[in-house]
Amino acid sequence: MDEFFNENIYNDGHYESWNDKLGNNFTGNNGIHNEMMIQKNLETGGSYQAAVSGMYGEFTIAAIFKALPDEYAVLNDILLQTGIQFRKYTLLDYQKYGETPWNLAVRLNKKKFKAIKKEVGLQQIATNPNAKIYEVVKKSSQIDHLIVSPYGIFVIETKNHKGYVFGDVNGRVWTQVLNGDVGWRAYGGHSHYTFFNPVQQNELHIQHLSKQIKIPRNFMTGMIVFTNPEAYLGNINCNCCYTLDMFAEALLSYTNVLWNKKQTEFVIKSVENLNSSSYSLNKEHVTYVKDLQHRHEINRMYANGYRR
What is the DSSP secondary-structure string of 13-78?
HH-GGGGGTTTHHHHTSSSS-HHHHHHHHHHHTTHHHHHHHHHHHHHHHHHHHHHS-TT-EEEEEE
Q: Determine the pLDDT at residue 25.
A: 46
What is the torsion angle, in degrees rounded to the nearest 10, for the CA atoms of residue 50, residue 54, residue 56 and residue 61? Answer: 160
What gap in Å lies between CA 116 and CA 202, rounded to an integer? 34
- pLDDT score at 30: 41
Q: Which of 222, 217, 225 is nearest to 258 (CA)?
A: 217
pLDDT at 31: 40
> Domain residues of the chain, as ranges?
7-80+140-303, 84-138
Measured N-to-C along each axis, helices 47-67 and 34-44 cross at an angle, to the nearest 10 degrees, of 110
Nearest CA to 97 out of 303, 289, 284, 291 is that of: 291
Quote the pLDDT of residue 41.
54
| C-alpha dist (Å) from residue 214 to 24, 69, 115, 220, 238 | 45, 26, 32, 12, 27
The pLDDT assigned to 35 comes to 56
CA 96, distance to chain mean position in Å, is 26
| 204 Cβ neighbours under 8 A, 6+ residues apart | 82, 141
> What is the helix (H) or strand (E) element at residue 293, kind and residue range?
helix 279-303
- The C-alpha atoms of residue 154 and residue 147 are separated, in whole angstroms, by 5
Which residues are paired to 86 by β-bridges? 136
- pLDDT tens digits, one per residue of 66-95: 889 999 999 988 888 888 999 999 999 999
**CB hemisphere CA count around 268 (13 angstroms):** 17
pLDDT of residue 36: 53
Distance CA(82)–CA(278), nearest Å, equals 15
Predicted confidence at residue 28, as pLDDT, reads 46
pLDDT in tens, 204-251: 999 999 999 999 999 999 999 998 888 889 999 999 999 988 999 999
* Segments of the chain scoring below 70 in pLDDT: 1-56, 179-190, 275-277, 279, 306-308
Q: Which helix (H) or strand (E) holds 201?
A: helix 198-213
Amino acid sitting at position 155: V
Q: Which of 39, 80, 98 is nearest to 212 (CA)?
A: 80
Cα distances from 26 to residues 30, 51, 186, 215, in angstroms, run 10, 10, 12, 42
